[in-house]
Amino acid sequence: MLGTGTPTCAGCGALENIKIFCDILGEKTVFVNAAGCMTLLTVYPFTPFRGSWLYTAMASAPAGAQGVRDALDLLIRDGRLAPEEYLAVVVLTGDGTAYGMGLSATSAAIYRKLDFIYICYDNEGYGNTGYQFSAATPYAARTATSKGPRGYRGYKKDLFAIWAAHRPAYVATVIGTEPADLARKIEKAKGLRGPRLFIALSPCPTGWQFEPAKTVEIGKLAVKTGIWPLKEYLDGKVVHTRIPPPRGRRPPVEEYLKRQGRFTHLFSPTRNEEILKDIQASVDAYWEGVI
Amino acid sequence: MFRIRLHGRGGQGIKTASRILGTAFFWEGYEVQDAPRYGAERRGAPIFAYVRASKEVINERGIINRPDLGIVADESLLLLPVADVLGGVTEHSVLLIVTDEAPGVWKKRLNLKGRVFSLSSKVIVEEHAGFPLVGAACVGAAARLVGVISRKALEKAIREQLRPLGESIIGRNLAKARTAYDQMEASAGCVTEREEPSADSYETPHWIDLPFEEAGLSAPYIHAAATSLKVETGAWRSLRPVIDRRRCHRCGLCDIYCPDGVISLDARGYPHIDYQHCKGCLICLIQCPTHAIKAIPEPGLRAKRHQGRGR
Ligand SMILES: Cc1ncc(C[n+]2csc(CCOP(=O)(O)OP(=O)(O)O)c2C)c(N)n1
Ligand code: SF4
Ligand SMILES: [Mg+2]
């Protein structure tokens, strides 16, 4: 469905997600895209999309989606567009937008029960501008703006919980390297109306600093080690769709970390036991809270 | 003024290499400009960077059209018209190519009048997380070819620019740069500053008058679907994944995991790769459970095709 010949990096984990979304959502879509790496998918006169696409400023993609939705609904109401020509409105933004400057517009759109799908491809930083940290950057990661020996001093914001607290129709965390789980969740959301939101972890060879060939391996480790929980929110309940083996039997989180250049300072020249323990402890605590 | 243009692919450290070279010039008392130039393209796409260095104030701006030294970190770019590596290269220009073929082969193949030097492409294979070593090797060789950069200034520049990557990566890059620096000893100073063009030689641009179009025509609307198919991202690739049918069990995982969607399955379930668009990430190679996919270097392939045509 999504055309080839896009300018994303070789091995881009965000594209891996979007490819699957497009396959399932089909061409009857209007993408409303805030500034970020994926804006470059459509650079005049080239686009990989088969449906429509619109560009907005970083903070205002959900507001743009509201305008498009309203216009389409009015056209259908006035008989100028056949009901079969219904187009789904899909917001596509990075984490910089979703976790940061676009959060307020998203909150308002969910509050108004806007009928839209939101895809946040989460590469855990400002990829398009050279990988500075964002509110989605994990603790201790090195970015262009957290280069010290301990990396990023903040913690990744829990956007899933924030979005779910608004009680939208659907929220899910996904990853393109678990295509069956992702496809099932998109199908489910497609059958619903109202705000349906996705956070798609997107291993980024360029920002996370690993060989492009390893995107899938690293994505799978994010799920196996438990650092990226796959879950969904529906009808007031949160369900985990993939539960890793219990502590001790699941691979330690450092298996995931040590394959990425953005965490090398935790392993060399000397191991930073304290930070590694902290990260493992937070993953363990999360899953203890679930089971 | 020295005018140096560095060509490579996104991800090869060309931008940092130009920054190191500029810094080394700076420590030798030069005025310096260094800048990368790339568009929307990413890792793997052809990019270039350039360095100007002069003992006088530099008033020139913009890209370098006539380089005194051209550095080519990826030989496959030489056969790629869009990369325009040879743009403005004259008999005065020296070319430094990362290649395993002899400089003479390239000189003949490309009909070059100036001097050509080569650096072994082993540095590419030894690449390693952090700053790719090919950049360091190129900078080391370039520093010696211009003849005005001491070993000390070179090392200081590398340390300064790679500091956040840690001692072990700096050490490996220093070693690569030193080896390349020594390798060019016999040709030290062969890159020279071109005589500055006089104001009389200035050519006015060839202006073209464009008619005023109606907004409906001139606004950037795209009316067709999937026009990106026209962009041949296959040119980004330095390694080509090749599927061995005999080992393929037709599981289709390569198709599922390819982020760019360049793999399709035929009626019998065998995968085919669209080489016009495959960027060469090699996710398919790692994910194939029966190891039916291997990678072969692109330049070799192209060179072979080249020879075939000659015969
Ligand atoms: C209001 C505003 N501030 C800054 C920018 C510059 N900018 C363009 S893309 C980008 C990074 C966005 O990060 P993210 O949303 O995570 O997307 P990614 O680049 O990682 O795909 C920034 C800061 C902008 N376009 N608009
Ligand atoms: S920087 Fe990362 S997210 Fe952006 S295009 Fe490259 S791989 Fe994809
Ligand atoms: Mg991002």
Among candidate residues B149, B127, B129, B169, the one with its CA nearest the CA of residue B29: B149
- Residue B173: domain span: 2-195
Predicted local distance difference test score (pLDDT) of residue B306: 40
CA torsion, ordered A209, A213, A218, A221, to nearest 10 deg:
-160
Same domain, B179 and B247: no
Contact at CB, A9 and B42, closer than 8 angstroms: yes
B308 pLDDT more than 70: no
Q: Is pLDDT of B200 > 60?
A: yes
Q: How does the average pLDDT of chain B come out, rounded?
A: 89
| Closest Cβ–Cβ partner in A6, A210, A265 for B260 | A6
Tens of pLDDT, residue by residue over A96-126, are 999 999 999 999 999 999 999 999 999 999 9
Residue B29 counted as domain residue: yes
Q: Which residues of chain A are within 8 Å of residue B232 when distances are taken between CB atoms?
A: 5
Q: Which residues of A touch B41 (CB under 8 A)?
A: 7
Q: What DSSP line would sit under B47-70, residue for residue?
A: EEEEEEEESSPP---S--SS-SEE
**Of B272 and B79, more confident:** B272
**What are the CA-CA distances from residue A170 to residues A26, A66, A116, A191 (Å)?**
19, 18, 11, 11
Of the residues B195, B211, B238, which one is the last residue of a structural domain? B195
- Shared domain check, B268 and B120: no
pLDDT digits (tens, 9 = 90+) for B121-180: 776 655 554 567 889 999 999 999 999 999 999 999 999 999 988 888 899 999 999 999
- Please report whether residue B128 resides in a domain: yes
pLDDT tens-digit map of B96-105? 999 989 999 9
The least confident of A251-260, B167-176, B272-281 is: B167-176
Domain-embedded: residue B77: yes
Ligand 1 atom having least distance to the Cα of A93: 15
pLDDT band, very low/low/confident/very high, at B82 (cuts 50, 70, 90): confident
Query: Strands A29-34 and A52-56, how do they pair?
Result: parallel
Instruction: Give the number of beta-carbon pairs within 8 Å between A and B.
Output: 141
Testing ligand 2's pocket by substitution, the residue of A204, A210, A260, A262 carrying the most ligand atoms inside 8 A of its CB is A204
**Maximum average pLDDT range among A92-101, B82-91, B197-206:** A92-101
Contact present, A234 and A246 (Cβ < 8 Å): no
User: Complex ipTM, two decimals?
Assistant: 0.96
Atom of ligand 2 nearest to the CA of A37: 4
Give the whole-angstrom CA distance, residue B238 versus residue B9: 9
B282 to chain A, minimum CA–CA distance in Å? 5
Contact present, A33 and B256 (Cβ < 8 Å): no
Residues of A in Cβ contact (< 8 Å) with B168: 268-269
CB distance A5–B277 less than 8 Å?
yes
Give the least confident one: A16-20, A204-208, A226-230, B233-237: B233-237
Is the same domain home to B187 and B242?
no
Going along chain A from its start, the domains and CATH numbers come out as 13-288 (3.40.50.970)
Q: Both B173 and B261 in a single domain?
A: no
User: How confident is the model at residue B28, as a pLDDT?
Assistant: 98
Q: What is the pTM of this model?
A: 0.83
- The partner residue sitting opposite B274, judged by closest CB among A4, A9, A269, is A4
Residues of chain B whose C-beta is under 8 A from some C-beta in A? 10-11, 39-45, 129-130, 164, 166-168, 220, 222, 225-233, 236-237, 256-257, 259-262, 274, 277, 279-283, 285-287
CA atoms within 13 Å, Cβ hemisphere of A133 = 20
Q: What is the CATH number of the domain that holds B141?
A: 3.40.920.10
Q: What is the CA radius of gyration of chain B?
A: 22
User: Residue B288 belongs to a domain with what CATH number?
Assistant: 3.30.70.20
How many domains does chain B fold into?
2
Q: Which of B128, B162, B195 is the last residue of a domain?
A: B195
